[in-house]
């Protein structure tokens, strides 16, 4: 071949690479949805989740995917940064007025995409703090927001539905802010003169069972005091619609550009106040109704991708931030009407727990034509998403993402082994666990055995070792019998922690 011919072939390659469609990414991140909550994961449960099941049928269903923690903030921190949450101090469930955990300019999964020209967005629950060292100023443009760490567009709630301020924040500004009615927030001292749940339970449409007895907004007692911002306050019943519409709008607007969407639903976190279309429909109380609402939201996203011809070029990942809980502070009949539904499937524990149900979550990957539908038992952690997705788009992983492993082949179903091990940690009692394909070792702690939410936390003053292959339910502690394994895992966990 002549030199000219070679050069023109090389040129063609370059051109086709330039014009090759970059894949879109949609991460649907549920709140407090358990390993067994979806029909596709635990068909013994009667509740139908047809949209999630459709995604599962067309995608790869992971049985061994983990969050890094059993609560929201630390799990989300890992997903976005690629770092285990316990490497830094202060990464725990945050109040609504917390300052930004991830500082301006820090690399995140979103900034990786933004840097190569993607449209990037977070829509839904944030819970990673806002504002500089002085905290967020709700009555001005908030200084540190998702827009400073890679999200070109953000439409979020600051923390959780049960924490003030009960307002949406779009690109750092409170939506419908009225400066004549400024917003003030206090987590310690009462402000304003609105009724609080502790003193006026007769005004509540959902009664609290523990906590959640401060300012009443929309008939629901919250954590924290709030005054002002009346025009900006959300209506819980419309929250899923609001977030879903924003997500659908973002996809439609950017259908001709590569995009990365982190869609973090509020469902099924408390307070569970689903829209009238779902209220009372599951027969399982508000938690089941919120599951139906979540499934509906998934359906809207899938429909939008399909209608815009984006199915084939979009990698969809669906997962949850931690395991399930029934009564998480409100009397919403999640316990009374549960019936035979098992939110964690066959796993032990739940939200807050070091047992499997705390961190082993549903995890589905759909990428038509690229990922063969089926089931994968590969061991993966959500902390791996930043390295794996960076690799997918030919980018290097940010060096700060120290715990993120490139598990792209596992995500795509080409590797059925995944990680050798992963670490999980809970705030409740501070236990750590190291998980391998077969073994799970849990460090001894003096934390409580049960949470006030009635979840077995897995804390014990003695070391615990479970054979997850033979004993998925973690019933048989082998620590005294398998002393060599305990020693090996203890040492290895120590090495990872000191890395």
Give contact residues for Ca ion (rule: CB under 5 A): 31-32, 72, 321-322
Q: Which of 136, 329, 362, 398 is the binder for ligand NG6 (CB under 6 A)? A: 329
CA distances from 20 to 15, 16, 53, 259, 452 (A): 8, 6, 31, 14, 53
28 versus 216: smaller Cβ distance to Ca ion: 28
Interacting span for ligand NG6 (CB under 6 A) from 104-112, 243-251, 279-287, 322-330: 322-330
Sheet holding 153-157, edge to edge: 173-174, 168-170, 153-157, 119-125, 259-264, 24-30, 314-320, 363-366, 60-62, 374-376
Among 270, 302, 357, 433, contact with ligand NG6 (rule: CB under 6 A): 270
Tell me the DSSP string of 36-83.
Answer: TSSTTT-TTS----HHHHHHHHHSEEESSEE-SBSSHHHHHHHHHHSS
Cα–Cα distance measured from residue 414 to residue 84, given in angstroms and rounded to the nearest whole number: 26
CA distance 229 to 165: 9
Sole binder of ligand NG6 in the list 80, 217, 223, 344 (CB under 6 A):
223
Min CB(303)–ligand NG6 separation in Å = 28
> How many binding residues for ligand NG6 (CB under 6 A)?
17
The yes or no reply on residue 72 touching ligand NG6 (CB under 6 A) is yes
- Separation between Cα atoms, residue 170 and residue 421, nearest integer Å: 38
Please tell me the distance from the alpha carbon of residue 163 to that of residue 226, in angstroms, as a whole number.
Answer: 10
Q: Does 93 sit near ligand NG6 (CB under 6 A)?
A: yes
What does the block give as tokens for 387? 């390295």
- Among residues 452, 476, 413, the alpha carbon closest in space to that of 328 is found at 452
Query: How many angstroms separate the CA atoms of 184 and 179, rounded?
Result: 11
Counting contacts by CB under 6 A, is residue 95 touching ligand NG6? no
Among 24, 49, 71, 353, binds ligand NG6 (CB under 6 A): 71
C-beta separation of 455 from 71 below 8 A: no
Closest residue (Cβ) to ligand NG6? Answer: 211
Among 182, 195, 201, 211, binds ligand NG6 (CB under 6 A): 211
Of 207-215, 245-253, 298-306, 462-470, the window that binds ligand NG6 (rule: CB under 6 A) is 207-215
Per the DSSP assignment, residues forming a β-bridge with 365 are: 60, 317
Q: Least distance in Å: CB of 336 to Ca ion?
A: 22
The residues in 139-198 that bind ligand NG6, with binding defined as CB under 6 A, are 160, 162
Segment interacting with ligand NG6, rule: CB under 6 A, options 43-51, 205-213, 374-382, 470-478? 205-213
127 binds ligand NG6 (CB under 6 A): yes
Give the bridge partners for 62, in sequence order. 363, 376
CB of 410 to ligand NG6, least distance (A): 26
CB of 338: closest distance to Ca ion in angstroms? 19
Piece of 311-319, 321-329, 366-374, 464-472 that binds ligand NG6 (CB under 6 A): 321-329
Q: Which residues pair with 155 in a beta bridge?
A: 123, 170
Q: Which stretch binds ligand NG6 (CB under 6 A): 6-14, 113-121, 210-218, 311-319?
A: 210-218
Using CB under 6 A, list all residues that contact ligand NG6. 31-32, 71-72, 93, 127, 160, 162, 210-212, 223, 269-270, 322, 328-329
């Amino acid at each position: 071949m002549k030199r000219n011919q070679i050069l023109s072939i090389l040129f063609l390659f370059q051109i086709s690479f330039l014009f090759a469609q970059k894949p879109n990414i949609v991460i649907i991140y549920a709140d407090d949805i358990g390993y067994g909550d979806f029909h596709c994961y635990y068909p013994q449960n009667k509740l139908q989740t047809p949209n999630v099941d459709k995604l599962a049928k067309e995608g790869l269903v992971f049985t061994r995917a983990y969050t890094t923690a059993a609560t929201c903030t630390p799990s989300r921190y890992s997903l976005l940064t690629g770092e285990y949450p316990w490497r830094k101090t202060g990464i725990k469930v945050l109040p609504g007025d917390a300052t930004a955990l991830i500082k301006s300019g820090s690399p995140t999964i979103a900034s990786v995409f933004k840097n190569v020209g993607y449209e990037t967005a977070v829509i839904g629950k944030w819970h990673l703090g806002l504002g500089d060292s002085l905290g967020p100023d709700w009555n001005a443009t908030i200084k540190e927001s998702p827009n400073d760490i890679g999200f070109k567009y953000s439409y979020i709630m600051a923390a959780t539905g049960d924490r003030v301020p009960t307002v949406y924040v779009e690109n750092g500004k409170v939506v419908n802010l009225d400066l004549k009615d400024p917003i003030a927030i206090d987590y310690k001292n009462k402000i304003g003169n609105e009724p609080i749940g502790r003193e006026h339970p007769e005004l509540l449409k959902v009664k609290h069972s523990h906590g959640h007895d401060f300012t009443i907004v929309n008939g629901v007692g919250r954590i924290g005091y709030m005054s002002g911002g009346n025009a900006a306050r959300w209506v819980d019943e419309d929250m899923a619609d609001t977030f879903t519409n924003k997500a659908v709008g973002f996809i439609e607007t950017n259908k001709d550009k590569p995009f990365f969407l982190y869609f973090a639903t509020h469902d099924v976190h408390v307070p569970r106040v689903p829209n009238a279309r779902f209220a009372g429909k599951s027969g399982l109380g508000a938690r089941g109704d919120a599951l139906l609402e979540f499934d509906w939201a998934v359906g809207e996203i899938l429909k939008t991708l399909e209608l815009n011809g984006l199915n084939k070029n979009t990698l969809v990942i669906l997962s949850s931030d931690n395991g399930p809980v029934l009564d998480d502070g409100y009397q919403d009949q999640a316990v009374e009407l549960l019936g035979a539904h098992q939110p964690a499937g066959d796993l032990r524990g739940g939200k807050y727990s070091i047992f499997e149900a705390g961190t082993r979550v549903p995890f589905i990957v759909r990428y038509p034509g690229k990922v063969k539908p089926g089931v994968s038992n590969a061991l993966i952690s959500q902390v791996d998403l930043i390295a794996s997705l960076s690799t997918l788009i030919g980018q290097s992983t940010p060096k700060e993402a120290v715990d993120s492993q490139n598990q792209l082949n596992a995500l795509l179903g080409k590797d059925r082994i995944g990680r050798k091990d992963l670490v999980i940690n809970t705030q409740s009692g501070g236990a750590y666990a190291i998980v391998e394909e077969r073994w799970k070792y849990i460090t001894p702690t003096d934390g409580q055995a049960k949470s006030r939410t009635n979840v077995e936390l897995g804390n014990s003053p003695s070391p615990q070792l479970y054979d997850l292959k033979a004993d998925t339910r973690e019933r048989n502690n082998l620590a005294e019998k398998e002393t060599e394994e305990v020693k090996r895992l203890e040492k290895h966990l120590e090495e990872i922690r000191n890395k």
